[in-house]
Amino acid sequence: MKEVHATFIEALDRTPSVKSFRFTLSKKIKFLPGQFLQIIFDETNRDNKKLNKYLSISSSPTKDYIEVTKKISDSKFSKSLLGLKPAEKILINIPMGNCVFLDEYKKIGFLIGGIGITPVISIIEYIIEKKLDTDLYLFYSNRTDNDIAFKSELDHWQSINNKIKVYYTVTDCAPLDRSCLYGVINKDLLMSRACDIGGRIMYIYGPPKMVEAMQALSLGIGCNPDNLKTERFIGY
């Protein structure tokens, strides 16, 4: 892990409430798909949890920029991100985290809700750009159609790679998009869409309660505990 300066490039809208922020780094830092970093707005007080926060990397290590993605709120941290000007420099710690993808993984799966999609994007984009022969399922749950971040990218990736299967679920209302399923991620859904899921390396990112529920679900359908990779987003 190293502290480096990052230069802000641009912000991109992912949903009405989710934005991505792109930066270039003062020097090349190697990281693995699935890792995260810390953005430091308050350099004088590193313990300032309101202004110094951890965010998953939502870009592939193959890119010449670093991207993070956040659901925007009224917090001081969100306001600081939104206030960044092009060419402005900030300090980051990078890389962190062990819930990562390795090239030798041939069959993987993701059980994801909401903003937990951010490290998944880094992994899938990496698989696409490296042209890896990886078979993957993504189950991605959101409250409504409008909450699905990175949908255009995910739709494109599965259209050009038949080993990528994405299943969107919407929980709060019947989806308008016919590519989305109505309901939660449960045993019936997993067994009907991915009957071999028990033999895959499974990734679960998100808030603690969601991670615990998906971990129990995975174990209940026969996943090997050694193949479960989890990361809890705390204080996000």
Give the confidence band of 23 by pLDDT, cuts at 50, 70, 90: very high
Q: Half-sphere exposure of 156 toward its Cβ, with a 13 Å CA cutoff?
A: 8
**1 pLDDT higher than 90:** no
pLDDT of residue 113: 92
pLDDT digits (tens, 9 = 90+) for 63-114: 999 999 999 999 999 999 999 999 999 999 999 999 999 999 999 999 999 9
How much is the pLDDT for 233? 87
pLDDT at 30 (0 to 100): 95
Give 214's pLDDT tier (boundaries 50, 70, 90): very high
CA distance 54 to 234: 9
What is the crossing angle of helices 151-160 and 117-130, to 10°?
Answer: 30
More confident residue, 210 or 234: 210
Residue 236: pLDDT above 60? no
pLDDT digits (tens, 9 = 90+) for 127-184: 999 999 999 999 999 999 899 999 999 999 999 999 999 999 999 887 777 788 888 9
Give helix then strand counts, H and E, for the chain: 5, 12
Predicted confidence (pLDDT) per residue in 54-64, tens digit: 999 999 999 99
Residue 235 above 70 pLDDT? Answer: no
**pLDDT over 80 (residue 234):** no
Residue 37: per-residue pLDDT: 97
Write the CA distances from 57 to 32, 34, 146, integer angstroms: 10, 7, 22
What was the pLDDT predicted at 63? 97
- The contacts of residue 163 (CB under 8 Å, 6+ apart) are 133, 134, 135, 136
Bridge partners (DSSP) listed for residue 83: none
pLDDT of residue 99: 96
Supply the pLDDT for residue 77: 97
Residue 186 has pLDDT above 70, yes or no: yes
